Amino acid sequence: MHAAPKLNAAFAALADPTRRAILARLATGEATVMELAKPFQMSQPAISQHLKVLEDAGLVALRVDGTRRPRRLAKPGIEAMDQWLAMLRKALEKSYDRLDEILAGMEPPKTKKGEKR
């Protein structure tokens, strides 16, 4: 079966700035827990816990190298979010050259007295 969307967990993971920073760091390549923890004031366990959240969300993957556990970005989880957002982006493009953008900037047509809804 195909690794379930887990969109709840994935978006929730991105809601935390520490986790976004971790992902941004991993975008430049693999890193260990210690390396990831360095920029923050937080304790090491806190970072491990953030990493667990990212893994459970399918955004980060693990590799074993001795006592170290280097993490890297996990493609499928990231793509899943990307595809969901694509839906909204497409809707925005559609409405751009159509009616909603007009309604947004203009005095609304405003239902008149006798008019039914």
- List residues near a copy of itself by CB under 8 A: 7-9, 11-12, 14-17, 20, 23-24, 26-30, 61, 63-66, 72-73, 75, 78-79, 81-82, 84-85, 87-92, 95, 100, 103-104, 108, 110-111
Indicate the angle between helix axes 17-26 and 44-56, nearest 10 degrees: 80
SS3 24: helix
Q: Which range touches DNA (CB under 7 A), out of 62-70, 76-84, 87-95, 100-108?
A: 62-70
The three-point CA angle 46-47-52 to 5° equals 100
CA dihedral of residues 40, 46, 48, 51 (deg, nearest 10):
-80
Closer of 16 and 44 to a copy of itself (Cβ): 16
Interface residues with DNA (CB under 7 A)?
A: 12, 15-16, 18, 32-35, 41-46, 48-53, 62, 66-70, 111, 113, 115
